[in-house]
Every structure is written in structure tokens, then in C-alpha cells.
Chains A and B, each alone.
Chain A
Amino acid sequence: MKNNIQLFNRIILVEIAKLKGTFAFWLTVLYPSGTVLLVTLFWISMRNQKSANTGMFIDNLGNVASFFLPFFIVLMISVACNIEHKSSLLKHLLVLPVPRPVFYIGKFAGIMVFIFLAFLLTLIFAYASLFFCGLASPKLGFGADFNHLLLFKVITRAYFAASAIYTIQYWFGMKFRNLTLPVAIGSALIILPIAIMIILGITGLITKSDDFTKIISYNPYSYPYSTAFNMIKNKEVIIFSNLSLLFIALSAAVLISGAWQFNKRNIV
């Protein structure tokens, strides 16, 4: 057991070492910076608005971050998994004395380090943006009454809401040998609920806003931005809602079953 824990730690370190400088790494920087930049540009264009406050900035950031987060996760995890596939590296790694489930979960943990880095960068860039917007236009009032807890909760909620996407997308990424298929499946799972929502809305089959959010809430891939819709409606930030907890449990189940299946798999 102790040996497996040491191996697990070494697999995480290896994953970090090999992802450095790859497209997956740059995505980890690009997603938080792009998200914050979008919100920053919006507020710079609104610099003469007198009724603004940091809470509005955080709300905007939370919504934009929640919308783009599933796309970032799908692409980042698929690219990270494809590094092994494109050079047939699984054959090399799995002839090393490492139990396959340890490798599977260790690699996932290594990827999660980069997801956590994206989370930290989102917070850091948000503070930097607020400071910059405050300097650019004191009228916005971003210098006063800063709600640190709200910023933390909004960003944390988005990343926890995506918990099921991490393991499901990882499973797709490890299963399919090319990059296109996992990215296509992941993107379809993100976009499809919105498309259905739009079609049902246009045709008049759905008219209530509650029904709109229900469509996207029960799909793990669209749940992160459904939490943003809920926040617009309720003005309340709940990190661990019932659905969030359900998706965390689903995530754990997918990871364990993925490791079990990986252990049985033939590597050709």
C-alpha cells in the first residue's frame, strides 16, 4: 500500500513534468486569462457607469467562467490524454512496474493539478483585473467594499459543478486513441442541451424559465453554466447543491470504474 502511494505521487510528478510546455499547459493559462480579459474589456467599456460595484464584476466573471469552463475541461483533458496515444506511449508506460489502476488515477490526479492551477489563475487574474479596472476608472467603484468570499465562492462553485466532466472526459480521452473523437463527444454534450433549449423555446414548448434550466441542469456537461443561470435567478451562491453532490459521487464512480476497465484492457 505504501509503495502504491509512493508510485501514485511519482505518477503525478511525471504527469506535471510532461504536460509542461504542451498545448494542455497553455490552455490552462489561456482559459483563465481569456475569461477574465473578456469581463475586463466589458467593464472598461462601461467605465462611466456610476452604479457599478465589485459584486457585479464577480457575477459577470462567474457566469463567463461557468460558460467556458466545460469547453476548457473537454479540450484540456483530451489533449493531455492524447499525448500518450499519439506516440503509442501507453505500451511503454504499462511495461513499467506500476499497477494500472495506480497509473490511471495518478495520471488523472496530475491533470487535476493543472485544473487547480487554472482555478488559482482565475482568482489571481480576477484580482489583477479589478485592480486594473479600478485604476482605469475610479468611477466604477471597484476599489471599495470588495467581497473576497463572494469571488472565491463563485469560482469554486463553477469548478465543483464541473466535477463529473473531469472523470467522464478523462475516460473518453483514455479510451479513444485520436483527439477528435473525445473532443467531439465532449463538445456535443456541452452544446446539445443549449440547442434543445433553444429549439423548445422557439417552438413554444417551453415558456417557463425553470423548465429552461432543468434541461441543462441534469446533464453533467452543461451543469456548470446552469448554476450560473440559477444564480442570476436566486442571487445566491451555493457551492455544494444537491446536484453538485450527486455529480461529485458520479465523478468518483466513473473514475473507479474507469480504472477497473483500464486494468482489464488489452494495449495493442
Chain B
Amino acid sequence: MTDLNLKVPAGSIFGFLGPNGAGKSTTIKTLLGLLKTESGKIHIFGKELNANKMYILERIGAMVESPSLYDHLNARHNLEITARIRNINFNKIGSLLETVSLTRDAHRPVKQYSTGMKQRLSLAIALLADPELLILDEPINGLDPNGIMEMRQLLININAAKKCTILLSSHILSEIEKLCSDVAIISAGTLVFQGDMQTLLSSTSGKEIITIQVNNAEKAIKSLDGKFITSAKDNNLIVTVDNKKQAAIIIRQLVEDGIDIYSTERESTGLEASFLHLLNGKQQL
């Protein structure tokens, strides 16, 4: 990670995006003190992490990667373990189980739970201390469509009811688009975008991303002469165009320069397009 400065507005749902291996989980683990930094310092809530670790962790609830639960214990006992360590009254457990819709299953061993139930229980554990900041690493990973919808609604409700800031990482862009008010995108440990969702979406509004499969990507980029933001991977040329007419010009230009076109494909618009646009811009040949 290089000079990463995430500005997470209080009360927001902040999406933390990046391709696989970009450093999302590493960033989150470092923020939580699980990974040690070789150099540099980390500041959260305006305080340096190593010097104020207990102060900071008291204000954070976290769920890192897959749900971490005691499989042989039931939901209530799992919550009691964290409640005891954090010195929180056990009376609070009932209402939290209700929040995550696990009251009926509270006495079943966690090993009998579905992935969605485990994720919800992990979320309840993270919420035990009424955190100011909730850090969730891939909270919708492994969930079925129904589970994803439940988790989305749950996070929206928690954010509204508890006024809790949520920082969540995910690679499911459609969910981030529906859920988050603010977003940051990293690639190879470097921040490539940070701001509110509307700004990000408007940066590519009206634009389209087209993937063109050619016989020689290098020659094709030369042919376009840097007129369009392009990148290439395995002879797939990715171009950003303002309209369909521009797409036609590009294709004509490539054909005139003797480049064979095997296929063209219009990529999705919205956050996915913005995401690709930003990453492709960074990875230009």
C-alpha cells in the first residue's frame, strides 16, 4: 500500500473496491492491527493506531473475510463470548439476535447454520459494542441472491437506525452501487478514486465501454493513435467511447489498418463501467 488515505464520511456506507489482489483485505487487516506495517503509520479517528490501539478498537466492530464463529456453540453463546470480552451486558443479545433475524435459531449450534445465517451472526457480533465504525470485509461473499438482498437491507437498516458508519469491501459491484453512498477504488495498493457514488457514476455517464477482440492488440492501439482510453489484455482491446458513432469510427479505422476483428462486446454501464474505466485508464499499455 502506498500513501493510502481513506476519507470515510461519518454516517455513510462506504464501498471499498478493487480487483482481486488490489490490497482490499490487506488494507482492512492493517487498519485493524492484524497486519503490522513495515513502515509508515496508520491514523483512525485522528489517532495513531499503534499508540491508541485499544481506544480505536473499542470504537470499531469488524468482520474480516469469512465468518469467524465457534461452530460447536450456538448463536447466543457466540455472542456471549464477545460480550464478555467487551464487558457488555448479556441483556443486549436478545435484541441483536432479533435485528439479524436469528432469534428462532439462537439455540441451534452454529455448525448447522447456512452461510447467510453465519454472516448475519458475525454481523451481530460486530454490532455488539454499538461501534462508531463498522468494518466489513466481503460481507456478501458466498451468499445466494436471497442472502445478498437480506444482508443489503440489514446494512441499510443498521446504518439508518444506529447512525453507524459502515466501511465495506466487496467485488460485487452491483451491490456496492445499490448500497453505498461513498466509494474508494484501489488498484495494486494505490488509491485510484475516492468520492461519492454520484461523482464516480457521472465520470462515465453517457460513455460506454466496448471490448473488441482483435488479432494484434499492439498494432490496434497504434492504429487508434491514443485517441481513446484503451487497454489490452490477451488481444482484447478495451475502449471507452462517447456514443455509438464513435464506436463505428474505431471499428472502421481498425479494419482500414488491416486489423482483423473477431468480436465486439458492449460492457455494462453504471458502476461497473466506471470501475473498468478507472482501472483500464491506470493499466494502459
Q: Is B284 an interface residue (CB 8 A)?
A: no
Q: Which residues of A contact B71 (CB under 8 A)?
A: 87
The answer to whether B85 and A92 have CB atoms under 8 Å apart is no
Q: Which residues of B contact A97 (CB under 8 A)?
A: 53-54, 57-58, 86
Q: Is A175 an interface residue (CB 8 A)?
A: no
The answer to whether B81 and A95 have CB atoms under 8 Å apart is no
Most buried by B among A10, A11, A92: A92
The answer to whether B70 and A91 have CB atoms under 8 Å apart is no
Give residues 185-244 of A contacting B (CB, 8 Å): none
Q: Which residues of A contact B125 (CB under 8 A)?
A: 92
Number of A-B contacts (CB under 8 A): 75
The answer to whether B81 and A88 have CB atoms under 8 Å apart is no
Q: Is A94 an interface residue (CB 8 A)?
A: yes
The answer to whether B34 and A267 have CB atoms under 8 Å apart is yes
Residues A95 and B84 in contact in the complex (CB < 8 Å), given A17-B77, A87-B68, A89-B70: no
Digit string of B46-84 for contact with A (CB within 8 Å is 1, else 0)?
000000011001101010111011111100010011101
Q: With both chains docked as a complex, state the minimum distance between the C-beta of A158 and any C-beta of chain B, in angstroms.
A: 30
The answer to whether A266 and B34 have CB atoms under 8 Å apart is yes
| Contact of B29 (CB < 8 Å), options: A18, A93, A267 | A267
The answer to whether A266 and B85 have CB atoms under 8 Å apart is no
Most buried by A among B29, B66, B70, B82: B70
The answer to whether B64 and A92 have CB atoms under 8 Å apart is yes
Roughly how many angstroms separate A6 CA and B86 CA in the complex, as a whole number?
11
In this complex, what residue of A is CB-closest to B28?
A: A95
Residues A94 and B33 in contact in the complex (CB < 8 Å), given A21-B72, A87-B71, A99-B54: yes
The answer to whether A95 and B54 have CB atoms under 8 Å apart is no
Knowing that A14-B81, A91-B34, A92-B125 are A-B contacts, what are 13 other residue pairs whose CB atoms are under 8 Å apart, sorted by A's residue number?
A: A6-B87, A7-B85, A10-B84, A13-B84, A18-B77, A18-B81, A92-B68, A96-B57, A96-B85, A98-B85, A99-B53, A267-B29, A267-B35
Roughly how many angstroms separate A22 CA and B109 CA in the complex, as a whole number?
13
Give residues 40-66 of A contacting B (CB, 8 Å): none
Q: Is B266 an interface residue (CB 8 A)?
A: no
Roughly how many angstroms separate A92 CA and B135 CA in the complex, as a whole number?
12
Digit string of B16-54 for contact with A (CB within 8 Å is 1, else 0)?
000000000000010011111000000000000000011
The answer to whether A22 and B65 have CB atoms under 8 Å apart is no
In this complex, what residue of A is CB-closest to B34?
A: A267
Q: Which residues of A contact B72 (CB under 8 A)?
A: 21-22
Digit string of A1-33 for contact with B (CB within 8 Å is 1, else 0)?
000001100110110011001100000000000
Residues A87 and B69 in contact in the complex (CB < 8 Å), given A94-B34, A95-B64, A266-B36: yes
Roughly how many angstroms separate A91 CA and B58 CA in the complex, as a whole number?
16
